[in-house]
Amino acid sequence: MRGLPRRRPRDEASGAWYPRWYWPGFAFPGTLWLLVLFVLPFYVVVSIAFGTVDPVFQSPLPVFEPWWWTKRYLLEEWHFATGEFRPVEVRTIVYVVLATAICLVIAYAVAYYVARFGGKRKGLFLALLIAPFFISYLMRMLSWVELLQPNGYVNGVLTFLHITPHPVNWLAGVPFTVVLGLVYGYIPYMILPLYGFLDRIDQSQVEAGRDLGGNRFRTFVRVTLPLSKPGILASLVIVTLPMFGDYYTNNLLSGSPKTTMFGNLLDNSMEATGQGPQAAILVLFLVLFLMIPMLYYMRETAKAQRNQ
Amino acid sequence: MSEAVSERPQVDRLRDEPAPLAPSRSTRTPLGWWRNPWRRPHILATATWLYLAWSLLPVLIAIGISFNSGRSNSVWQGFSFQWWWGHPKSDPTGSLFVSPELHAALIQSLRLSFLTMFIAVPIGVAFAIGISRWRGPAPAGANFLMLFSFVIPEIIIGISMFLFFTYLLKFVHLGTGAQLLSLVTYQVSYPVIIVRARMLSIGREYEEAATDLGASPTQAVRRVLLPLLYPAILVSFVLVFADTIDDFITVRYLSGGASTEPLSVKIYNFSRGILTPAINAAATFLLFSTLVIAVLGVFLYRRITRGQRGQTQEMTGYLS
């Protein structure tokens, strides 16, 4: 299959005649589905964000005609976002940056080792690295909830080794627990794409670096690292996008207002009624904030699809 | 590709040899060991194994706890099946298959996953086929939309769907219908991305050959293209199932009541309150059902791709 010369004929007229609607017909159900159930819901979000509020129930009244849109509630929420919510947003960014950095260090080391030195065990390594994909996120968090409980095994080991004199309540709003939870939750999504990129690096280029007198470190910094830069960027985006919308890791491992993240604001605005259009406006803010990384990732994916 | 694979053992052998390049320094002293340019990457190897232990041991412990004989979900108290289908003393109707609540949630989980799988994969496969062959600017726009639904954080889909069904499409009541519609919307991009990659790697030649030999367009798709796509379609089925049965973010906002909450949502709700090993049993059940589908997928995949080269490579390629 691979040995055949790849030829892309310009003329489509060879062989059978394809009706004009033939290929669009295949794409039609999916396109229609997305237009109705992805674009339209987002239009509802925008209509609520620019809409008004029921004066009695404080529930949002969407305004579907753009010419009646009002910025009033949006500006009010923006006021919150830059004032009252600012600590939450700063905290979210700090947690996400910290967690992503830790993820990158561990993920790069693991992916590099498996890609370069996996040898005969590569299949086993890959199976173990893929395993977390099939274990639900909830289960992986649940297992830490249980390990970190006051009478759980982590405290058992720590007190046995006299590292801490008495059990620590890890689940009562400890930022360390939340960041570690984020790392634990999202790192599998980083390792596999990184592995994909590192595995494609031509070994002879690395060997050339060593032959030309570079030591391990220099060869890594001057050859491997630049070659894997697109992989690093892509995997950073893959991991940070969901982290910004994450509320569950935080809720399960802390649940304390001391560690509230932006995702929690979103989730809280859904759980309490009578907050007007808050949920819709926060969704809009998050989408705008993540627009650039999302567009970057989409462009890279589309490029990878073309170049394959 | 195969050349690169056969090359690797030789490189490893080179590395095993005592370093001829640095004979002056002994490799026995720590400093010499550190400076030896051909030493094996012990530090990286240790880090990798530590990572694997860290990533998988907690889950194994949690699976073990589901067979706990006591009520504790953090300390092992002995082996029993009571939290799966027994009547534990502390909570007689609390086990996974006995508790009406958990049992109903389990059924709902399976129902949602299978329905989503059988709706999202055909739509996605057709979309991928159409978009790869259809020329002009329109498919790029449709593909952009599809990729957008892929990268957007799930909570955004969940909330916008909730608002959509509450304020515009009011005739869709929150519950199974709304859950299904939003799950399919979120999952449909997986088969598209997987099948599209496969489409690009097989090219157009086989279809052209078929049409040159007198097949109609529909015959060319059904008898030539689809069989070539079976592996990718199979992988899509497994991934969509695995992702849907674990999903609680979208579904939670669209449940509309405790009766339509699937097991994943129950686990989330219980994890924040009173935990019993029954919740571990529920999570383990989700894991087992995913594994069953995955093993089934691998088995079918082997059958379909028998005699083709580079299978495992392709399978892992889909995930990364």
Q: Report the C-alpha gap between B258 and A238 in whole angstroms.
A: 33
A45 → chain B, closest CA residue: B160
Per the CB < 8 A criterion, the answer to whether B185 and B123 are in contact is no
Residues in B touching A103 (Cβ below 8 Å)? none
On the question of pLDDT at B320 being above 50, the answer is no
Per-residue pLDDT band for B210 (boundaries 50, 70, 90) equals: confident
Q: Report the C-alpha gap between A41 and A74 in whole angstroms.
A: 18
Per the CB < 8 A criterion, the answer to whether A151 and B76 are in contact is no
- Touching check for B85 and chain A: CB below 8 Å? no
Q: What size, in residues, is chain B?
A: 320
On the question of pLDDT at A21 being above 90, the answer is no
A125 and B146 in contact by Cβ < 8 A? no
Non-local CB neighbours of B175 within 8 Å, separated by 6+ positions: B254, B255, B256, B257, B260
Q: What CATH number corresponds to the domain at position A193?
A: 1.10.3720.10
Per-residue pLDDT band for A2 (boundaries 50, 70, 90) equals: very low
- Across the interface, which of A15, A143, A187 has its CB nearest the CB of B59? A143
Q: Among A17, A18, A35, A37, pick the best mutation site for testing chain B contact (most B Cβ within 10 A).
A: A37
CATH classification of B100-319 is 3.40.50.720, yes or no? no
The answer to whether position A307 is within a domain reads no
Q: What tens digit of pLDDT does each residue of B89-101 get? A: 777 777 888 888 8
Q: What tens digit of pLDDT does each residue of B143-177 get? A: 889 999 999 999 999 999 999 998 888 888 888 99
A15 and B211 in contact by Cβ < 8 A? yes
Q: Could you tell me which of B159, B48, B228, B166 has the C-alpha nearest to residue A106?
A: B48
- Touching check for A132 and chain B: CB below 8 Å? yes
Residues in A touching B131 (Cβ below 8 Å)? 26-27
- Touching check for A60 and chain B: CB below 8 Å? yes
Residues in A touching B151 (Cβ below 8 Å)? 241, 294, 297-298, 301
As a whole-number percent, the residues of chain A with pLDDT over 70 amount to 93
- Residue B9 is encoded by which pair of tokens? 């053992």
Q: Report the C-alpha gap between B19 and B29 in whole angstroms.
A: 14
- Touching check for A123 and chain B: CB below 8 Å? yes
Residue, of A256 and A177, whose pLDDT is higher? A177
- Residue A291 is encoded by which pair of tokens? 């627009």
Cα B137 to the center of its chain, rounded Å = 32
The answer to whether position A176 is within a domain reads yes
Q: What tens digit of pLDDT does each residue of B19-77 get? A: 455 444 566 677 777 767 667 788 889 999 999 999 999 999 999 989 988 888 788 88
- Touching check for B292 and chain A: CB below 8 Å? no
- Across the interface, which of A62, A142, A151 has its CB nearest the CB of B267? A142
What DSSP line would sit under B188-231, residue for residue? THHHHHHHHHHHHHH-SHHHHHHHHTT--HHHIIIIIIHHHHHH
- Give me the phi and psi of B79, to 5 degrees please: -95, 135
- Give me the phi and psi of B105, to 5 degrees please: -65, -35
A119 and B8 in contact by Cβ < 8 A? yes
- Touching check for A28 and chain B: CB below 8 Å? yes
**What is the total count of domains within chain A?**
1
What DSSP line would sit under chain A, residue for residue? -TTSPP---S---SSSPPPTTHHHHHHHHHHHHHIIIIIHHHHHHHHHHTSEE-TTT--EE---SGGG---HHHHHHHHHHHTTTHHHHHHHHHHHHHHHHHHHHHHHHHHHHHHHH-GGGHHHHHHHHHHHHHS-HHHHHHHHHHHTSTTSHHHHHHHHTTSSSS---TTTT-HHHHHHHHHHHHHHHHHHHHHHHHHHS-HHHHHHHHHTT--HHHHIIIIIHHHTHHHHHHHHHHHHHHHHT--HHHHHHT--GGG--HHHHHHHHHHSSS-TTHHHHHHHHHHHHHHHHHHHHHHHHHHHHHH-
The answer to whether position A222 is within a domain reads yes
Per the CB < 8 A criterion, the answer to whether B277 and B99 are in contact is no
B283 and A242 in contact by Cβ < 8 A? no
What are the CA-CA distances from residue B266 to residues A121, A139, A169, B255 (Å)? 38, 12, 25, 11
ipTM above 0.90, yes or no: no
What are the structural domain ranges in chain B? Answer: 1-40, 100-319
Is pTM beyond 0.90? Reply is no
- Residue B275 is encoded by which pair of tokens? 């935990």
Specify burial of residue A231 (Cβ count, 10 A radius: 0-12, 13-18, 19+): buried
The answer to whether position A237 is within a domain reads yes
Residues in B touching A158 (Cβ below 8 Å)? none
Helix (H, G, I), strand (E, B) or coil at B79: strand
Residues in B touching A5 (Cβ below 8 Å)? none
Helix (H, G, I), strand (E, B) or coil at B26: coil
Domain extent at residue A123? 87-271
The answer to whether position A257 is within a domain reads yes
- Number of residue pairs across A and B with CB atoms under 8 Å? 301
Residue, of A3 and B203, whose pLDDT is higher? B203
- Candidate ranges A61-65, B271-275, B284-288; pick with highest mean pLDDT: B284-288
pLDDT at B125: 95
- Touching check for B21 and chain A: CB below 8 Å? no
Q: What tens digit of pLDDT does each residue of B62-78 get? A: 999 899 888 887 888 88
Q: Could you tell me which of B154, B167, B85 has the C-alpha nearest to residue A248?
A: B154
A146 and B151 in contact by Cβ < 8 A? no
Which B residues in the span 174-203 are in contact with A, Cβ-Cβ below 8 Å?
A: 181-182, 184-185, 188, 192-193, 196-197, 200-203
Per the CB < 8 A criterion, the answer to whether B101 and A178 are in contact is no
- Residue A152 is encoded by which pair of tokens? 């759980």
- Across the interface, which of A23, A40, A267 has its CB nearest the CB of B134? A23
The answer to whether position A284 is within a domain reads no
A140 and B253 in contact by Cβ < 8 A? no
Helices (H) and strands (E) in chain B — how many of each?
A: 16, 0
Beta bridge partners of B68: B79
On the question of pLDDT at B1 being above 90, the answer is no
- Across the interface, which of A22, A113, A244 has its CB nearest the CB of B48? A113
Per-residue pLDDT band for B317 (boundaries 50, 70, 90) equals: low
